[in-house]
Amino acid sequence: MMKASREAPAPAPSEEDIIVAQNLSAGYGSKAIWKNATFSVGKGEFVAVIGPNGAGKTTLFRLLLGLQHPLGGNLSLFGAEPKRGSPRIGYVPQHHAVDDESHIESLELVRLGLSGNKWGFNPFLQEDSKTAFDTLSGVGGLELAHRPLAELSGGELQRIFLAEALVSKPDLLLLDEPLSNLDMRRERDLLRLVDEVVRSRDVSAILIAHNINPLLPYLDKVIYIANGKVASGKPEEVFTSETLSALYDIDVEVLHDSRGNLAIVGIEGHHGDE
């Protein structure tokens, strides 16, 4: 069986690439979660990271954020090794400490995204508030500004987190499962919003998701992580029976419905052998 990374077309490095990974391996301690990943992400690209639970999707984010180091291979971000605390990255983690006891207004969280890493007492600069306010209105959250976080719905919260990530004007957005807990309509609204941000600000966005289908209309690229391997390319290149079979080491068939939605099916006979 051929290696998945060879199956996907080798990315041609260009000057516009902000992320370049070559034979990258990642994991904890000496145990690799995935190996030999070669891919790139260009400026202004909207990229999805797809794969089953525990495949190491968030690990890729931790590498980019400089919170974890590669086990092998090369990873370059903005032409250098990733370093913790890069102001050029806007990050929306999967888990937030927001609950129904969070009485703090949304604007405050957005403002912390701008100046929360600065020491010293904040004299509550008007300038900070204005930047936070403008960012919030840029994601259609103007009316949420003075609402307590505890009262917001899932979709509204994602808007706030997006503003928190965007407020420092990053070049790269990392969104970890922003669609979980959203119904289909809010899912579509949020994806449109992210797409709009990517196109209008020339920001690159990498979004972790379980399901490719709602993302298909917007994506430039897919990074598919499964079974310790990584494949990347345009969605139509990655979502082929050959690529995914190579990734999973079993025969996989990719089905298309009349609207272009995809379904991935493992072939019965091989499944039974395992």
Partner 1 sequence: MAFSWNIMADLQQMWAYPFMQHAFEAGTMVAIIAGVMGYFVVLRRSTFVAHAFSEIGFAGAAGAVYLAQAFSIPWLTATYGMLLGSSLGGTAIAMLSRRSSHRDVYVGIVLAFALGIGLLFLSLYTGYATEAISLLFGEILGIAWADVLRTLLFSIVILGGVAILYRPLLFSSLDEEVAEAKGLPTLAIGVAFLLLVAVAVSVAVQVTGVLLIFSLMVTPAATAQHLASKPSRMIAISVVLALVVTWVGLFVSFYEPYPASFFITAIAFLVYVLVRVFHHRIRAPSEHRKDWQDRALVSTKDYSS
The residue ranges that bind partner 1 (CB under 8 A) are: 65, 67, 84-87, 89, 91-93, 95-98, 101-105, 108-109, 112-113, 115-122, 124, 139-144, 146-148, 151, 153, 155-156, 164-165, 189, 192-193, 196
Can you tell me whether residue 161 is helix, strand or coil? helix
Give Cβ neighbours of residue 21 (< 8 Å, ≥ 6 apart).
Answer: 37, 38, 39, 40, 73, 74, 75, 76
Separation CA 110–CA 92 (nearest Å) = 12
Which one, 7 or 156, has the nearer CB to partner 1?
Answer: 156
Q: Check: CB of residue 233 under 8 Å from CB of residue 221.
A: yes
What residue ranges in the chain does DSSP mark as E strands? 17-28, 31-42, 46-50, 72-77, 89-92, 172-176, 204-209, 221-226, 229-233, 252-256, 262-266
Q: Check: CB of residue 88 under 8 Å from CB of residue 171.
A: yes
State CA 130 to chain mean position distance.
Answer: 27
Which one, 98 or 250, has the nearer CB to partner 1?
Answer: 98
Give least dist CB 248 to partner 1, A: 30
Give least dist CB 106 to partner 1, A: 9
Give least dist CB 123 to partner 1, A: 10
Which one, 121 or 273, has the nearer CB to partner 1?
Answer: 121
Which one, 164 or 171, has the nearer CB to partner 1?
Answer: 164
Give least dist CB 188 to partner 1, A: 9
What order of strands is seen across the sheet that includes strand 204-209?
Answer: 89-92, 172-176, 204-209, 46-50, 221-226, 229-233
CA distances from 74 to 23, 40, 134, 221, 252 (A): 7, 11, 38, 20, 30
Give least dist CB 187 to partner 1, A: 12
Give least dist CB 211 to partner 1, A: 21
Which one, 108 or 220, has the nearer CB to partner 1?
Answer: 108
